[in-house]
Amino acid sequence: MMVTRRRAIQILSGVTVASVTGVGKAQWGFAPSLSYPAIRVGNIRTLQNNQPLYFAYPDSRAQAILIKLGRPALGGVGQNRDIVAFSATCTHMGCGVQYKGGRLVCPCHYSMFDPTKAAQVYQGLASTGLPRIRLRIAQNGDILANAMEGLIWGRTKNV
C-alpha cells in the first residue's frame, strides 16, 4: 500500500484532519479530554496569586501543578478565569516543571510553557505543550480536578 506524503505527516504528527477541523470530540486548542475520578486539589479561599500548588493527578506518580495566575487564562476557572492546572512533567524528557515568574519552566533544558495559553511551549526543546487538567469549582469553593487533556510524557496511557 502506498502512503501519500500528507498521510505520512498525519501519522507521524498524530494529527488528523478531524482534530484540526474540530470534527469529532477534539476542540481547537485542546487535546481530547480523558476523564478520571475527581479529586479535591484545594479551595479558592486559600489560593493566592502566583503561589503554585503541587499535587498528583490522575494517579500518585503523576505530578501536577495548580496556579492562580491573577490574570485570565485560556480554559481558566474561577471568577476571573485565572485558575489553571497542568501536568508538571516536561514533554521533552520528563523532568519536573516549575512555576517561576509567570511561566512554567523546565530546569533540565529550559523549555518554557505559557500557563495563560493552555501551557503551550514557546521556548526550548519540548515540542508540545503540557497536558492540561480540567478543573471544576464546587459550591463550597473546593477545586476539583476531573479530566486531563493530553497524554503525560513517557506513558502510553495516563492511568
Residues marked as catalytic: 92, 109
Which helix (H) or strand (E) segment is 5 a member of? helix 5-13
Residue among 109, 138, 154, 159 that touches ligand FES (CB under 6 A):
109
- 100 in contact with ligand FES (CB under 6 A): no
Q: Binding string to ligand FES for residues 31 to 70, with x set by CB under 6 A, is what? A: ----------------------------------------
Residue among 90, 130, 133, 151 that touches ligand FES (CB under 6 A):
90
Strand, helix or coil for residue 9 = helix
Binding region for ligand FES (CB under 6 A) out of 22-30, 46-54, 58-66, 122-130: 122-130
Beta-carbon contacts of residue 144 (< 8 Å; ≥ 6 apart)? 38, 39, 40, 41, 135, 136, 137, 138
Longest dimension (CA), the chain: 59
Residue 47 or 104 having the CB closest to ligand FES? 104
DSSP 24-51: SS-BTTBPPEEEEEEEEEEETTT--TT-
The binding site for ligand FES (CB under 6 A) comprises 90, 92-93, 95, 106, 108-109, 111, 124-126
